[in-house]
Amino acid sequence: AEVAPFDPGQKIIEYRVAEPRPLVRMTVEGFADELGSNSPAPGGGSVAALAGSLAGGLVSMVAALTHGKKGYREHDASMDRLGLEAQALKDQLLAAVDRDTAAFNAVMDCFRLPKGSEEERAAREEAIVAANKAATEIPLSVIGLCAKVLELAQEVAARGNQNSLSDAGVAGLMARAGAWGAFYNVLINLPGIEDEPWCAETRQAGEAAVQHADQLGASLQQAVVEKLSAPAE
């Protein structure tokens, strides 16, 4: 009998169609309880994406609390832009919460494929590599999205409503944590992928992205602490 090719991308789509965005539809309590169970997913990858999405939400909030306020009206146009961009990033990162878990489940399905014949074993190994690549590309994208959130957080911290400065700072912390968490998930997947050029390129891209995010986060954190610690005028 022919072994049907395993398409991890299609498998992930099947998960999403069968149960659309099950994680992000949970209550906060339900999601936290699910994390605390003995199921390996959702795990760190989904939490990293969630951290980034929360950061995007905070950036949007600061922009909204700045727009139209006395003393900040000169920034209305930029706050409109920042709010819209932050909302879009928040939505992309929210989608990644479920995509990360679906990708992990797809990898696990590959390990359950039959391996009785040489053809089956070859197909199974090929499927595992493809699924691991798909599962690695998701956190890699999360790092870049978190870096973009950090860029927006810097802007709202600098020009936004200073009564919400601490919120911009928390956005920076969450996005920075999201970037590092996603990078950890890139690293843990690479040893299971027998494609050295692809792994080297992916690791290099991940390192560059997380270093960029880390620099943005460190700069923002320093600026926020200095502003919040300054004597009141």
The string of DSSP codes covering the chain is -PPPPP-HHHHHHHHHHHSSSTTTTS-HHHHHHHHTSS-S-S-HHHHHHHHHHHHHHHHHHHHHHHTT-TT-GGGHHHHHHHHHHHHHHHHHHHHHHHHHHHHHHHHHHHHTS--SSHHHHHHHHHHHHHHHHHHHHHHHHHHHHHHHHHHHHHHHHHHS-GGGHHHHHHHHHHHHHHHHHHHHHHHHHGGG---HHHHHHHHHHHHHHHHHHHHHHHHHHHHHHHHHHSPP-
Share of the chain above pLDDT 90, in %: 81
Query: Is it the case that residue 208 has pLDDT exceeding 90?
Result: yes
Confidence of residue 233 (pLDDT cuts 50, 70, 90): low
Output the pLDDT for position 193.
92
pTM (2 d.p.) = 0.87
Q: How confident is the model at residue 231 (pLDDT cuts 50, 70, 90)?
A: confident
Q: pLDDT tens digits, residue range 108-142? A: 999 899 998 999 999 999 999 999 999 999 999 99
User: Of 102, 173, 184, 104, which Cα lies nearest the Cα of 143?
Assistant: 184
Give the integer Cα–Cα distance in Å for 155 and 57. 14
186 CB burial (10 A radius; 0-12, 13-18, 19+): buried
